[in-house]
Amino acid sequence: MENLLKGKKGIIFGALDEKSMAWKIAEKAHEQGAIFTLSNTPVALRFGQLDELAKKTGSEIIPADATKVSDIQNVFEKSMDILGGKVDFVLHSIGMSLNVRKKIPYPELNYDYYVKTLDISAISFHKVLQVAFKLDAINEWGSVVALSYIAAQRTLFRYNDMADAKALLESIARSFGYIYGRERKVRVNTISQSPTMTTAGSGVAGIDALMDFTERMSPLGNADAKDLADFTVTLFSDLTRKITMQNLFHDGGFASMGMSKRAMLQYKQSFENNCEDCE
């Protein structure tokens, strides 16, 4: 399918390097005819490769720390200037936990870091929605998407305080989605993505084993960042106008599985190998 996003304008938060989900989504949105601005923190702009993506997609970059309402407001105001009016889609692809980075286990959370995790990874989504709503910056039938993870519903070893952030993120999508839908016919959803090897993903301890497990458990296998880009552009398009307030699992079927044949075989093998170190 071609030109699914022809005439659509958007804002993409959170592309850091070419492994980023937001990067792949930006490439796909561009390929499908959208125009958009890109935003990330000043630090990410210094150390990432966002210039390359901006050049490739003909986009302008607007720096913002997504925990600062004034920065987000600047992103929306400048984007409307640059793109020539209200936007049709917004991607929130932002997450970070200092507790995860510093390997602080969940029962020993540092509370300053915990508050930062929630602010950066979840409350920033509320801030994006609030600014957009106040500025009336999104066209009717527009679409806002944030990226989530199944740790919002189920406990996964070592996902730490990011699980709490994702639960809050998904709740914000429902709470704000109701108001934004009722008042302005704007959709708000989260996509719960398979574990994926990005900068944020590789910060999760044991991501290799986790990805192997979810691959074995999922009848369709893990969804990668390119698969996610395909799915996300459908949510930005006019083909999904009545989907809102949802958390949509994009994980090859993992969320509905209890045990698979492939995972069972691997588990049995671990007994044969006398795996002592398996927690």
Residue ranges in contact with ligand NAD by CB under 6 A: 14, 16, 20-22, 40-41, 44, 65-67, 93-96, 120, 147-149, 193, 195-196, 198-201
Nearer to ligand NAD, 8 or 92 (CB): 92
Contact (Cβ atoms closer than 8 angstroms) between residue 194 and residue 222: yes
How many whole angstroms separate alpha carbon 11 and alpha carbon 147? Answer: 14
- Looking at beta carbons, which residue is closest to ligand NAD? 201
- CB 274 → ligand NAD: shortest distance, Å? 31
- CB 226 → ligand NAD: shortest distance, Å? 12
- CB 209 → ligand NAD: shortest distance, Å? 13
Nearer to ligand NAD, 232 or 240 (CB): 232
Place of tokens 């996300």: 232
User: CB under 8 Å to 109, separation ≥6 — which residues?
Assistant: 99, 160, 161
* Angle formed at CA 181 by CA 180 and CA 187, multiple of 5 degrees: 90
Tokens of 17: 């390097």
Nearer to ligand NAD, 67 or 139 (CB): 67
- CB 142 → ligand NAD: shortest distance, Å? 20
- CB 251 → ligand NAD: shortest distance, Å? 9
| 40 Rama class: left (phi>0) / alpha (psi -120 to 50) / beta | beta
Contact (Cβ atoms closer than 8 angstroms) between residue 28 and residue 3: no
